[in-house]
C-alpha cells in the first residue's frame, strides 16, 4: 500500500512542509507514530520513513523494515522487512544488521540460516550493539550455527549485559543459578 494515497492532499502538503524544516525525517516519523499527544497516524510516519529510505538513509530503511516485520501499516512480511533491513545493514547500520540476523535466526517467513544470522549478529556486535551480542550468546547457548558452548554464551551475555541488555542479564542469572545447583 502506498502511504501517499492514504493521505489527503492537505496532509501531504502539511507533511511536505514539516519535512522541509525537519532535520531528521525519520525522527519526525517516529514522533508521529509514537507521541500520544499527536493523532497516531501511521501513514504519515511511513511517508516520512519512505522519503528518507528512497534517499538512501539507513535509518529510514531500517524503520520501513520494522513496519513490514511488525505488520504496522502493511501486511506483516518478513521478506520485505529483510529487503529493507539489508539495504540499511549493508551501509553499516547496527540495528538493521541485528534485525536482519534475527529474521534469519527466528522468523518463520524467512528461511532459517544460522550462519547468515551469526554473520549479521557479529557485524552488529562489532559496533557495540548489545542485542547483537545477546543473540550471539543465544546461538552459542543452543548450538545454532555453532557448537553449543555455554562458556562462550555466558561471555557474550556478559558483554551485552554490561551494555544494559535485560535479556542478557536474565540469561546470566539463569546460567549462574544452574552452575550453583
- Rounded to 10 deg, the angle between the 94-106 and 58-70 helix axes is 30
Supply angle C-alpha 113, 114, 120, rounded to 5. 95
pTM of the full structure: 0.85
Are the beta carbons of 97 and 124 closer than 8 angstroms?
yes
Distance between CA atoms of residues 94 and 146, nearest Å: 22
CA 8 to chain centre: 30
pLDDT in tens, the chain (181 residues): 555 556 677 766 766 666 666 678 898 888 888 876 666 688 889 989 999 999 999 999 999 999 999 999 899 999 999 999 999 999 999 999 999 999 999 988 899 999 999 999 999 999 999 999 999 999 999 999 999 999 999 999 999 999 999 999 999 999 888 776 6
Are the beta carbons of 93 and 61 closer than 8 angstroms?
yes
Assign domain 1-117 to a CATH class.
Answer: mainly alpha
- All structural domains of the chain with their residue ranges: 1-117, 128-181
Amino acid at each position: 500500500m502506498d502511504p501517499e494515497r492514504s493521505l489527503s492532499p492537505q496532509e501531504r502538503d502539511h507533511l511536505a512542509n514539516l519535512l522541509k524544516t525537519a532535520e531528521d525525517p525519520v525522527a519526525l516519523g517516529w514522533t508521529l507514530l509514537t507521541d500520544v499527544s499527536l493523532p497516531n497516524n501511521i501513514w504519515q510516519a511511513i511517508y516520512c520513513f519512505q522519503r528518507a529510505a528512497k534517499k538512501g538513509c539507513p535509518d529510514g530503511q531500517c524503520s520501513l523494515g520494522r513496519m513490514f516485520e511488525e505488520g504496522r501499516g502493511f501486511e506483516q512480511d518478513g521478506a520485505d522487512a529483510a529487503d529493507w533491513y539489508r539495504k540499511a545493514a549493508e551501509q553499516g547500520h547496527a540495528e538493521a544488521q541485528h534485525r536482519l540476523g534475527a529474521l534469519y535466526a527466528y522468523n518463520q517467513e524467512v528461511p532459517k540460516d544460522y550462519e547468515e544470522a551469526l554473520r549479521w549478529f557479529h557485524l552488529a556486535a562489532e559496533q557495540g550493539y548489545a542485542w547483537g551480542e545477546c543473540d550471539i550468546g543465544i546461538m552459542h547457548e543452543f548450538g545454532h550455527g555453532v557448537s553449543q558452548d555455554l562458556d562462550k554464551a555466558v561471555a557474550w551475555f556478559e558483554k551485552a549485559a554490561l551494555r544494559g541488555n535485560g535479556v542478557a542479564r536474565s540469561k546470566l542469572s539463569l546460567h549462574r543459578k544452574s552452575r550453583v545447583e
